[in-house]
Amino acid sequence: MKIGKAANRIDGISRRTLLTAGASALLAMPFIKRAEASEKVLYVNTWGGLWDEVARDVWFKPFTKETGIEIKTVSPVSFAKLAAQARTGVYEFDVTTLGVAELGRAHAAKIIEPIEGSAIDRSALWDGAVIMNGVKSHAFSNAIVYRKDHFPNGGPQNWRDFWDVQRFKGSRSLQRYAARTLAFALLADGVAPEQLFPYDLDRGFAALDRLKPHLRVLWTQGPQSAQLVRDGEVEMIGMWTGQAGKLVEANVPVEIVWNQALLDQAFWVVAKGTPRAENAWRFIQSAVKAERLAEFCLRDKNGPLNPKAFDFISPEQAKLMPTYPENFKQAIVLDPEKIAPQLDELNQRFDRWISS
């Protein structure tokens, strides 16, 4: 099977190309203006859709009520625009969230504000809350999910099983996202979790080659992955546990395998150079409060990274979250510092692999 070329090209584009393209697109947008520190408004970069809807209720409205600062949103989340803003001084947004891989790139490229000397009160945060000038918010796992009606005696329990097309017959799907998919390939090839980072790229792509004929699609959006499973188009998939949790609640016969789930984390960051940085840090301080973070995770099906948030979550709800202790201890956490230097090569090779 040949996997289509049309979907997301971001993974395969070099950082230089991203910066150039992002800056051009940003400057071409008519509503962009230079930031003014005096404005009683803050621009937040969001994922749109349900994420945006939940964030408005849980984070934006309470912050505006407390401070009088209006929140305006821009979506989707864009690393390219974040980079372009730092170069041009023209800001479409002041705050955004980044996953582990993007945080590593942003930190290395110096396109986010340093937390040292900022308006945030670090004494109010929890131990380990800050990494590379990003403030931890919530975690999301990409895990094996299989149809129980297709595997009545139990499906794959780890990535080696997922790669075993003789023992576990059926079509498969993975995310079109190099930094995560390569981890699955290496685990399937027998690499121990503690030796996973940095990636052995040659070994990982050789493992991907073996599975490629059995991959029906590389999904790019969470709802797409859920539909693939719900409609029975694939019998097993690597997908967000948040999306899988919604399938469980909807009585779709799926099993979530928490073993070897790859845990990524969302970090709040402030755009480098924005004159609204002080208000941006105030917003972040507000957003990671335990009760607000708990409500966001309950509605968006993520796992809170502020440990105190679990005080506001029932045990039954917590069991479907990637940071629930029993799930978290089986997970593998992406290491941003070790994979960041590999990302350009990794993304370019992944794009070529898809197109071949």
Alpha helix (H) residue ranges in 138-234: 159-163, 178-188, 201-211, 222-230
| DSSP string computed for 264-277 | EEEEEEEBTT-TTH
CA gap 89, 86 in Å, rounded: 6
Check whether domain 141-263+334-355 has CATH 3.20.20.140, yes or no:
no
Residue 225 identity: S
CA gap 226, 221 in Å, rounded: 9
190: its two tokens: 């027998």
Domain coordinates in residue numbering, the chain: 39-139+265-331, 141-263+334-355
39: its two tokens: 């404005």
**Nearest 10 degrees: Cα torsion 64, 47, 323, 109:** -100
Per-position pLDDT tens, the chain of length 356: 444 333 333 233 333 333 333 444 444 443 444 555 557 999 999 987 778 889 999 999 999 999 999 999 998 888 899 999 999 999 999 999 998 888 988 998 999 999 999 999 999 999 999 999 999 999 989 999 999 999 999 999 999 999 999 999 999 999 999 999 999 999 999 999 999 999 999 999 999 999 999 999 999 888 899 999 999 999 999 998 888 988 998 999 999 999 999 998 999 999 999 999 999 999 999 999 999 999 999 998 889 999 999 999 999 889 889 999 899 999 999 887 788 789 889 999 999 999 99
Is 182:347 a contact under the CB 8 Å cutoff? no
Is 143:247 a contact under the CB 8 Å cutoff? no
Q: What is the pLDDT of residue 4?
A: 37
| Helix (H/G/I), strand (E/B), else coil: 263 | strand
Is 78:45 a contact under the CB 8 Å cutoff? yes
**Same topology for domains 39-139+265-331 and 141-263+334-355, yes or no?**
yes
Nearest-CA neighbor of 332 among 142, 160, 177? 142
- Give residue for tokens 């937390």: 115
Check whether domain 39-139+265-331 has CATH 3.40.190.10, yes or no:
yes
Q: What is the pLDDT of residue 38?
A: 54
